[in-house]
Amino acid sequence: MTDEKKKVVISEESAQAEIDRFLSYYDIDIDDMDDDLSKGMQRSVAKMKKAIMRGMLEFVDNDGSLSVIHKLKWPPSSLNGGDTLKYRVLDGKAKIAMREAGENDTYGQIYMILGSLCGLGAQPIQELKAQDLGVAEAVGLVFIAS
């Protein structure tokens, strides 16, 4: 990875404030989770914080609804030249979409929920690579935990 791709565009403090705002919006308290889930969430939050610092992830308030903007480094061809995924606020439709993956398929659930939230289905999420996929999976885990 080049230094340019690792370049910090947002301070750690600002990124942490964004993470706190996102977790607060979904009323998620990592300290109240069991140990295994808490550890997974801490890893996801750390990955999301790095992505925010590098300009890959952003939370946008749209009249009280918090959208997630995921700027991709390696967009899949199924996005037809687009380089951004926008996840709308979590809703019941997205939670129901997770059922297709099966109860014990966490990655499948993540891809289904994110596919539903971006309105493109799971395929573009499944085609993400490297950092893009890791960031998406981190965001998806937070959505699942909410």
Q: What is the pLDDT of residue 64?
A: 86
The sign of the dihedral angle between the CA atoms of 36, 89, 66, 135 is positive
Domain coverage including residue 27: 3-89+129-145
Question: Residue 1: which pLDDT band, with cuts at 50, 70 and 90?
Answer: very low
At 84-116, the pLDDT tens digits run 999 999 999 998 998 888 888 889 999 999 999
User: How many Å apart are CA 117 and CA 121, to the nearest integer?
Assistant: 8
Task: Please check whether residue 80 lies inside any domain of the structure.
Answer: yes
Task: Please check whether residue 136 lies inside any domain of the structure.
Answer: yes
Higher pLDDT: 104 or 22? It is: 22
User: What's the structural domain count of the chain?
Assistant: 1
40 — phi, psi (to 5°)? -65, -40
- Range of lowest pLDDT (1-15, 58-72, 96-110, 119-133): 1-15
Going from the C-alpha of 82 to that of each of 20, 43, 74, the distances in angstroms are: 29, 28, 10
Length of the chain: 146
Please state whether the predicted TM-score (pTM) of the whole model is above 0.75. yes
Question: Residue 6: which pLDDT band, with cuts at 50, 70 and 90?
Answer: low
Where b means 16+ CB within 10 Å and e means fewer, 21-52 reads ebbebeebebeeeeeeeeebbeebbebbbbbb
Task: Please check whether residue 121 lies inside any domain of the structure.
Answer: no
Task: Please check whether residue 118 lies inside any domain of the structure.
Answer: no
